[in-house]
Structure 1
Amino acid sequence: MTVRVEDDDKKLEQLFKELEYLSSHVILVGVLADDKADTDDEVTVKDYAIWLEFGDREYNVHYPPRPFFREATQTEEARDKIEDKMEEELQQVIDLKKTAKQAMDAVGTYVQGLVQESILDGDWADNAPATIAIKGKNQPLIQTTTLLKSIDYEIKKRSELQT
């Protein structure tokens, strides 16, 4: 009986450690690096992602918004999917089948995939004829796959976030 109590104490201690990790860390998903785009100018992939996301409503660009990130993360359907994944992973942590880091990695990878899927399969406005002539295809958001490959996630301590 004593051994079981000690095991339970160890499990409880481990659970508290994992929950502390969850409460002190966040998952960031998006174009996180400041890599240069496939152009000769100083534009970054992050710049292009913002322009593509918001289109000419917010920025001085000449194409419609293609909100690939918001579609993947902010719609009710997307939020439900992400919430379900988070609940599934949290249960794995509570059951001590995964560490908090492993669970956060799983959620980060999942959301990263949702954003990439949105880029590939979203129902976006067609490219302009001039753009199709340059690209050789009508596939909005895809030219060199740089944006697609730039979608990433990272886990950071809340205390390290800039406000």
Structure 2
Amino acid sequence: MAIAGEFGLELTPEGRAALSMLDELEDIVVEVGYQADQMAIDGETSLAEIAYWNHYGTLHKDGSVMIPARPFMDALQKHPDELAEFSQQAASNLNTAETVASAIGAQASSMIQDAIRDEDWAPNAPITVEGGWMVNEYGKNGPVPVHIDGKGSTKPLIDTGTMRQQCGFRLMKGEK
């Protein structure tokens, strides 16, 4: 609002309210994705870890691909204009900084969820689809045999729906 005064402009009450909301929005950070306290179905692994492994991929010790990269979190970077347009509409149509930030967080989460569902990711490996025995070379005491329950689908990231359903957001105030 200071800039309006510098130019000798007198703002309407609506203009002051809009600028005040923008000032408040400046102090809100919207974190989108997975939080460390969100656990996978096994109750031991965080969804943030699983999301990381799937987004960036993982390698076997010999350097070959274990989990191919499926960069679903890049949905926001792939569609910045869509998110920017939504953000402008939210700022124009909603009354408080928190409701605007929440709307933006919900939209961003939805974009990631859509990417998980709709993108053409590298298919699941046969062992992932069919199940069976394999060696986990990263066992706590060295390589160990593990049994994999087959998912029955070549479509990655959607076996139980947890990854897609649990993508969310949180608002952090005053923490840029």
In the alignment, the residues of structure 2 paired with residue 85 and residue 13 of structure 1 have an alpha-carbon distance, to the nearest angstrom, of: 22
The structure with higher relative contact order (CA 8 Å, sep 6+) is 1
Normalising to structure 2: TM-score of the pair? 0.72
1:131 paired residue among 121, 128, 140? 128
| Between structures 1 and 2, the one with greater helix share | 1
User: Helix, strand or coil for the counterpart of 2:66?
Assistant: coil
2:175 paired residue among 155, 160, 163? 160
Structure whose alpha-carbon radius of gyration is higher: 2
Q: Supply the AA of the counterpart residue of 2:158.
A: I
In the alignment, the residues of structure 1 paired with residue 34 and residue 41 of structure 2 have an alpha-carbon distance, to the nearest angstrom, of: 15
Moved runs in structure 1, 4+ residues, more than 4 A? none
> In the alignment, does 2:69 pair up with 1:65?
yes
> In the alignment, does 2:26 pair up with 1:23?
yes
Equivalence map 1:6-155=2 (5 Å): 10-39=13-42, 42-56=44-58, 62-70=66-74, 72-75=75-78, 78-92=79-93, 97-133=94-130, 134-155=150-171
Match of 1:3 in 2: none
Normalising to structure 1: TM-score of the pair? 0.78
Contact kept, 8 Å, 1:52 with 1:66, in 2: the verdict is: yes
Show CA shifts across 1:115-155 (max 9, x none).
00111111101111111110011111111111112200111
Contact kept, 8 Å, 1:33 with 1:150, in 2: the verdict is: no
Contact kept, 8 Å, 2:24 with 2:97, in 1: the verdict is: yes
**Percent identical across equivalent pairs?**
30
| Between structures 1 and 2, the one with greater strand share | 2
Aligned CA-pair RMSD: 2.4
Quote the offset at 1:35 in angstroms: 2.2
Q: Which sections of structure 2, spanning at least 5 residues, go unmatched?
A: 1-10, 131-149
Q: Which sections of structure 1, spanning at least 5 residues, go unmatched?
A: 1-7
